[in-house]
Amino acid sequence: MTILVENRAGYRVITLNRPERLNALTAKMASALTEALGAAEADPECRALLLTGAGRGFCAGQDLTAIADARPAEIAALLEQYNPLIRRLRALSIPIVCAVNGVAAGAGANLALACDIVLAARSASFVQAFTRIGLVPDCGGTWFLPRLVGAARARALAILAEPLPAETAAEWGLIWQAVADEELMPNAETLAGRLATQATAAVALTKRALDASESNTLDAQLDLERDLQAKAAQSLDFAEGLRAFLDKRPPVFGKTRS
Ligand code: T3D
């Protein structure tokens, strides 16, 4: 099994599972992952996802042994498998936490950056390894990097392809947090569990608003926020959130996504 899927209370853990190759990606693995995302989203019991890697690495990017004899056209065609995965991840209505347990290289780094909240073990690192082997950053790398860390750092990371330690990645805003290695999974599980009890519809609408802001003007974004707020205001979660506040008790949100 190239990925493992485990049900937890309110969320699922997806583990990349080719530890002997630092969870390097194959086309088969990418489509299994895309399928697992769809299945999780379709399950009303699943209100958050946690993505991590088995063994000492998170993901070493494309499995280079699998493309050793590929022709140039076949190399580019592989992105027909990876691009749908990145699009699926970004469009997912439930939040996804990524626990980067070790090195995240090439497409593996950008897979992590496509997630909503990225935690990394202090011993982990992020490498835009592409130019080292004569390729360009893909899987959204050239889109995520400048937006997360600014143009100067994005250029150096993409062109020099040097590893960025997890703590610097957090300082630069590439990820949410770097934590002690032994605290990574407990923290990531706590976070996914917490997301599973939040107002799921409001979280989905918030993700939509943030994604749209990447290309919207302020005017368009204000209009969008008004429209999304109108939807959120109609939700049972808002009724519950407001009532709980007035009653001075913690809210109990349901599983509805709209
Ligand atoms: O079709 C397309 O469009 C192509 C898409 C491309 C997207 C990409 O992701 S391109 C970038 C591909 N990834 C890389 O170039 C990274 C290659 N790996 C490395 O540079 C290093 O392995 C790491 C920096 C990630 C980790 O180094 P280290 O020293 O911790 O581990 P290691 O000893 O190099 O690797 C451990 C094993 O995993 C080793 O196997 P062995 O010798 O024990 O049998 C190594 O060969 C294997 N491995 C690591 N990365 C890959 C891999 N095997 C296949 N593909 C890999 N990407």
Residue 220 lies in a domain: yes
Determine the pLDDT at residue 152: 98
The residue to mutate among 2, 21, 22, having the most atoms of ligand 1 within 8 angstroms of its beta carbon, is 22
Output the pLDDT for position 57: 98
Closest ligand 1 atom to residue 133 Cα is 15
Determine the atom of ligand 1 nearest the C-alpha atom of 163. 24
CB-ligand 1 contact for 75 (6 Å cutoff): yes
The reply to whether 92 and 123 lie within a common domain is yes
Give Cβ neighbours of residue 41 (< 8 Å, ≥ 6 apart). Answer: 92, 93, 94
Question: Are 8 and 2 a contacting pair, CB within 8 Å?
Answer: no
| Ligand 1 contacts CB of residue 198 (under 6 A) | no
- What is the pLDDT confidence band of residue 230, given thresholds at 50, 70 and 90? very high
Q: What is the pLDDT of residues 148-164, one digit of tens each?
A: 999 999 999 999 999 99
User: Would residue 67 be called left, alpha or beta, if left means φ above 0 and alpha means ψ between -120 and 50 degrees?
Assistant: alpha
Asked if residue 252 is part of any domain, the answer here is no
Instruction: Say yes or no: CB of residue 107 within 6 Å of ligand 1.
Output: yes
Q: How far is the CA of 179 from the centre of ligand 1 (A)?
A: 24
pLDDT of residue 217: 98
- Residues 78 and 27: beta-carbon distance below 8 Å: yes
| Secondary structure, 3-state, 126-169 | EECHHHHHCCCCCCCHHHHHHHHHCHHHHHHHHHHCCCEEHHHH
Residues 15 and 76 in one domain: yes
19 falls within a domain: yes
Nearest CA to ligand 1 atom 4: 75
Say whether pLDDT at 197 is over 70.
yes
Instruction: Assess whether pLDDT exceeds 90 at residue 72.
Output: no
Span 190-214, mean pLDDT?
A: 97
Domain containing 242: what range?
200-247
Which pLDDT tens digit goes with each residue over 78-124?
888 899 999 999 999 999 999 999 999 999 999 999 999 999 999 99
As a whole number, mean pLDDT of residues 188-195 equals: 98
Residue 226 maps to which CATH number? 1.10.12
Residue 23 lies in a domain: yes
- The CATH number that applies at residue 141 is 3.90.226.10
**Do both 149 and 213 map to the same domain?**
no
pLDDT of the residue at 76? 85
125 CA distance to ligand 1 middle (Å): 13
Residue 160 lies in a domain: yes
- On whether both 172 and 209 belong to a single domain, the answer is no
State whether 192 and 206 are in the same domain: no
- Residue 70 CA to ligand 1 center (angstroms) comes to 17
Do 141 and 213 lie in one domain? The reply is no
8 lies in the same domain as 116 = yes
Atom of ligand 1 nearest to the CA of 107: 9
Q: What's the pLDDT at 256?
A: 64
3-state secondary structure 216-258: CCHHHHHHHHHHHHHHHHCCHHHHHHHHHHHHCCCCCCCCCCC
Q: State the pLDDT at residue 16.
A: 98
Please check the confidence at residue 223 and state whether its pLDDT lies above 80: yes
Round the average pLDDT of the chain to a whole number and report it: 96
Q: Do 205 and 165 reside in the same domain of the chain?
A: no
**Minimum-distance ligand 1 atom for the alpha carbon of 74:** 1
Per-residue pLDDT, 236: 94
DSSP lists the bridge partners of residue 103 as: 57
pLDDT score at 258: 58
Ligand 1 pocket, 59 CB below 6 A?
A: no
Ligand 1 neighbourhood includes 29 CB (under 6 angstroms): no
| Same domain membership, residue 178 and residue 83 | yes
pLDDT value of position 255: 66
* Long-range Cβ contact pairs of 148-154 (< 8 A, separation 24 or more): 148/113, 148/172, 148/173, 148/174, 149/173, 149/174
Task: Give the full edge-to-edge strand order of the sheet including 125-127.
Answer: 57-59, 103-105, 125-127, 164-165
Give the model confidence (pLDDT) of 233-257 as tens digits. Answer: 999 999 999 999 999 999 999 866 6
Residues 115, 225: Cα–Cα separation, whole Å:
22
